[in-house]
Amino acid sequence: MKKIIFSWLLLIVIAGSAQHLDVYPTHWWVQMKWNKVQLLVHEADPKYILAVEKLTARCSSPDIKIKDIHKVENRRYLLFDIEIAPNAKPQVATISFGGIVPKEQRSFRFELKARRPGNGTAFANGATAADLIYLIMPDRFSNGDPTNDRVAGMRDQSLNRDSVFERHGGDLKGIQNHLDYLKDLGVTAVWLNPVIENDMPDRTEHGYAFTDHYKIDPRIGGATAYKDLINALHAKGMKMIQDAVYNHTGLEHILFRDQPDSTWFHRWPAFTQTNYKDQAVFDPYGSKIDKKIMQDGWFVTTMPDWNQQNPFVQNFLIQHALWCVEEFGIDGWRIDTYAYNDLGFMNRCNHALYDEYPKISIFGETWVHGVPNQSYFCQNNYSIPFKSNLQATTDFQTLFYGIIPAVSEPFGWTEGVNKLYTTLAQDFVYKDPTREVIFLDNHDLPRFYSVVNEDTAKYKLAFAWLLTGRGIPQMYYGSEVLMAGTTWPNDGHVRKDFPGGWEGDKENKFLAAGRTEKENAVFNYIRTLANFRKRSSALTKGRLMQFAPYDGVYVYFRYDDQQTIMCAMNTNKKPFTIALDRFRERLQKFSSGTDVVSGSGIPLKDSLTLNPMSNQILELK
């Protein structure tokens, strides 16, 4: 008996003196539908190996069963398939494993937590057409905590607001400090560029090259600041959209620097960049090599491309997505570079999220050209072999082939605002076009104020469409105060700091007193429309009816049983009077309307005169 006790004490001493084990996911929850979890265990110290001969394992809790252990080529990794009992209670269990000699014995603690209350109400509530999403790049919005501007030990130690490439110090606390500003503006949901740790040597302000999936970047405040921000958003009735990057990771990610084996990332004899040809994915005449380069090629040399056909990679990425929702209480996902992922894997990942969080929303970035191209990647009405279960996409088509030509091209049979009409007429291909996320610009595109050459009439017309069109509107930070910039000579110029977000800024555009007369005029215009939209059943839940444009004038209605909104878009440079007879299908019950922006009453008799380059929005009476 003494010999047995001594052996166990020796095992504990050896296990305690061994190097730290990294375990992913770091913990899990009881009563999850995803109760068969795959734990990835890693020992970074090359002096130690985990995949010893005659490997056995046991768990201290009967609520956790070890179903299988997987060895991979790199012997510093093991993968444990565990099953959590349906009636398991919150607890901390110990999983011990090793060979037959004491020096091979290792162990780690694994916690099961109680689930977050309020699935579908307090969190995972999803963004809908009733929301206005505000996109923020955390590093460039506001610096609420200067102590995290630089973090010792991280590769990028830059802090230079004079450079569009280096870090500026914005953080999650800075965003939290301005939630009242956003709520007053009419914002109901916040989408942040990635918050996951991005410990790369340079260009880390955007966050799209993860280096540790289970850490929130400490330079924006870490996990505590992220939870505080989300809790503050929810307390104000607002939502959080997290940016997911499944396609690739950063070159400094531990799973790339110390790879489990050669099958976790796509490999080529020489560096091969994606061809960006989304057509190759669905082209009935396409070649296999074009499709392979499209989906398996790397974005850039510093972003290794995950092999999502590897089942271990699939589990790692899916479990991280579930973990983030439960750990932080986010409400929805925006998925980066959606078309470049393995689409079968994406269906499985999306399904896991829908299954666990029925009200969550997911939309994917599909920077493609053509409604058929875009709709292929989300839920659609096509009878084709591959059927995507993605709810919606970022609607580049209504941007590139809709609102931009509407305000920038002369009117013609297929030109100008006719392109917006034609693009929307193709909505029959989508299962639910009201989930499409419509926008004017983002962190990769020229700011729309620059697209219209700083013409505020065109700018307001476009925002009127954004806030009355079908779908979920998304605006980019600073658009409301006329922030400008183009992607030439580089995209850093569309990612400038919000004026007033840093102590000592000469201008503070969070305050009306800090904005120019022109800026306040646009700010108040957007604010008025956005807040009206929140109260409007027709704009947030209603249907769309559009009439074919004539002479540069495009008329559409948003309506339900309680409310009808008439939107008359004049894309001409001069006033235009339209006869109302053609719109009697929707106007027959109404004799007047109220201009939503000015509050003025407008009689609806035989005609309506529209201001140049404007979108008059009338609530019909």
290-313: pLDDT as tens digits: 999 999 999 999 999 999 999 999
**DSSP strand pairing (189-192 vs 91-98):** unpaired
Distance separating alpha carbons of residues 503 and 12, to the nearest angstrom:
52
- What's the pLDDT at 18? 43
- What's the pLDDT at 108? 97
Q: Which of 342, 393, 392, 402 is nearest to 365 (CA)?
A: 393
> For residue 5, is pLDDT > 70?
no
May I ask the CATH class of domain 133-535? alpha beta
Q: What is the pLDDT of residues 544-564, one digit of tens each?
A: 999 999 999 999 999 999 999
The number of C-alpha atoms within 13 Å of 237 and in the hemisphere containing its C-beta is: 10
Mean pLDDT, range 595-608, rounded to an integer: 97
Q: Which of 101, 12, 207, 134 is nearest to 526 (CA)?
A: 134
The answer to whether 297 touches 272, Cβ cutoff 8 Å, is yes
> For residue 528, is pLDDT > 90?
yes
Burial class (CB in 10 A: 0-12, 13-18, 19+), 378: buried
**In the chain, ranges of CATH 2.60.40.10 domains:** 2-113
> For residue 11, is pLDDT > 70?
no
Q: What is the pLDDT of residues 562-593, one digit of tens each?
A: 999 999 999 999 999 999 999 999 999 999 99
C-alpha to C-alpha distances, 511 to 274, 439, 499, 521, nearest whole angstrom: 44, 25, 10, 13
- What's the pLDDT at 15? 42
Query: Reduced to 3 states, what is the DSSP secondary structure of residue 404?
Result: helix
Q: Which of 357, 330, 128, 170 is nearest to 240 (CA)?
A: 330
State whether the Cα torsion 363-368-371-377 is positive or negative: negative
Residue with token string 């993860």: 210
Q: What is the pLDDT of residues 121-157, one digit of tens each?
A: 999 999 999 999 999 999 999 999 999 999 999 999 9
Sequence-ordered list of residues with C-beta below 8 angstroms from that of 453, at least 6 positions apart, any chain: none
**Which CATH number is correct for 2-113, 3.10.150.10, 2.40.50.140, 2.60.40.10, 1.20.120.530?**
2.60.40.10
Q: How many CB atoms within 10 Å of residue 33?
A: 11
Confidence band, pLDDT 50/70/90 cuts, at residue 20: confident
Task: Please state the pTM of the whole predicted model.
Answer: 0.96
The CA-CA-CA angle for residues 281, 285, 287, to 5°, reads 60
Query: Reduced to 3 states, what is the DSSP secondary structure of residue 616?
Result: strand
Q: Which of 587, 534, 576, 530 is nearest to 553 (CA)?
A: 576
Burial state string for 599-616 with b = 16 or more CB within 10 A and e = fewer than 16: eeebebeeebebeebbbb
Q: What is the length of the chain? A: 621
**In the chain, ranges of CATH 2.60.40.1180 domains:** 542-620
Q: What is the pLDDT of residues 223-275, one digit of tens each?
A: 999 999 999 999 999 999 999 999 999 999 999 999 999 999 999 999 999 99
Distance separating alpha carbons of residues 333 and 361, to the nearest angstrom:
6
Sequence-ordered list of residues with C-beta below 8 angstroms from that of 131, at least 6 positions apart, any chain: 188, 189, 239, 472, 473
**CA-based max dimension of the chain:** 102
**In the chain, ranges of CATH 3.20.20.80 domains:** 133-535
The CA-CA-CA angle for residues 545, 550, 551, to 5°, reads 145
- Place domain 542-620 in its CATH homologous superfamily: Golgi alpha-mannosidase II (2.60.40.1180)
Q: Which residues are catalytic?
A: 336, 365
- Give CA 397 to chain center in angstroms: 18
Residue with token string 């037959």: 100
Q: What is the pLDDT of residues 449-471, one digit of tens each?
A: 999 999 999 999 999 999 999 99
Supply 549's token pair: 């444009």
Mean pLDDT, range 508-519, rounded to an integer: 98
Amino acid residing at 226 = Y
**Strands across the sheet containing 564-570:** 543-550, 553-559, 564-570, 614-620, 592-595, 601-603
- What's the pLDDT at 377? 98
Q: What is the pLDDT of residues 368-427, one digit of tens each?
A: 999 999 999 999 999 999 999 999 999 999 999 999 999 999 999 999 999 999 999 999
Sequence-ordered list of residues with C-beta below 8 angstroms from that of 438, at least 6 positions apart, any chain: 395, 398, 399, 466, 469, 470, 471, 472, 473, 474
Confidence band, pLDDT 50/70/90 cuts, at residue 12: very low
Helix segments in 236-299, DSSP class H: 254-257, 279-282, 288-296
Ramachandran bin of 370, using left for φ above 0, alpha for ψ from -120 to 50, beta for the remaining angles: left
Amino acid residing at 603 = P
If you average pLDDT over every residue of the chain, what do you get?
96
DSSP notation for 555-579: EEEEE-SS-EEEEEEE-SSS-EEEE
> For residue 38, is pLDDT > 80?
yes
Query: Reduced to 3 states, what is the DSSP secondary structure of residue 216?
Result: strand
- What's the pLDDT at 6? 38
- What's the pLDDT at 16? 41
- What's the pLDDT at 19? 55
Q: What is the pLDDT of residues 152-206, one digit of tens each?
A: 999 999 999 999 999 999 999 999 999 999 999 999 999 999 999 999 999 999 9
